[in-house]
Amino acid sequence: MVAMLTSLLLIISFLVLTFLLFRQIYISIKEKFIDKQRLIVIAILTLTLVIPVFFPAGLINFEKFESESILIAQREGAANYLTTLKLKKNKKFNERTVCFGITEITGTYKLIGDTIFFDYDSPSRQQNKYYKFAIIKNVDSNNKKYKGDLVRFEDNSDTTGIALWIIKNELKKW
């Protein structure tokens, strides 16, 4: 509900700023581009509206400053619900879920054989399920898109687990 209201507020703000930009351009044309302050306002409004359109994820890609991902697994569900799990070289992981909002969970992991054990930094208020461990299962080696399954389990009594598709696996190198 909060995400929907925030989105609505952002859309309204974008439309109001667009209207103000066109109004400033119209007035500037009538003044024959004489007022320098108005031209500065037009430039600032234009940048404010253009940056989110061309860079919706932001100007800075903070993932470049993180450790390299050695395993990436993801799963797309109904309504483009997407979960992506990235294991980093420095023994940290990042799980990002996009479903009517974005939830990010971070922590550290320990690899023992084909099993990955997760230790979460701090529980997220938005996420109810936490997976204690995951098992790497290799599937058809002819499939070039997916390199196996990463089946996550909530605890030792969980018998079915939730599978993510592995799209990058360089764990054997480390």
pLDDT digits (tens, 9 = 90+) for 58-110: 888 887 888 899 999 999 887 778 899 999 999 999 998 887 777 888 899 99
Percent of the chain with pLDDT over 90: 48
DSSP state of 44: H
Amino acid at 61: N
Judge whether 110 and 119 are in contact, CB under 8 Å.
yes
Q: Average pLDDT, stretch 27-43? A: 95
Flag whether pLDDT at 142 surpasses 70: no
Which pLDDT does position 173 carry in this prediction? Answer: 58
**Burial readout 74-83 (b: 16 or more C-beta within 10 A, e: otherwise):** bbeeeeeeeb
What is the pLDDT of the chain when averaged over all its residues? 87
Flag whether pLDDT at 125 surpasses 60: no
**62-173 in CATH: which number?**
2.40.128
Question: Residue 93's CB: how many other CB atoms inside 10 A?
Answer: 21
**What is the residue-wise DSSP string for 95-131?**
EEEESSSEEEEEEEEEEETTEEEEEESS--SS-----
DSSP state of 145: S
Q: Is the pTM of this model over 0.85?
A: no
93: β partners:
87, 107
Output 173 or 28, whichever has higher pLDDT: 28
CA distance 39 to 28: 7
- Residues near 105 by Cβ (< 8 Å), separated by ≥ 6? 94, 95, 96, 97, 120, 121, 124, 127, 130
Residue showing tokens 């003044």: 31
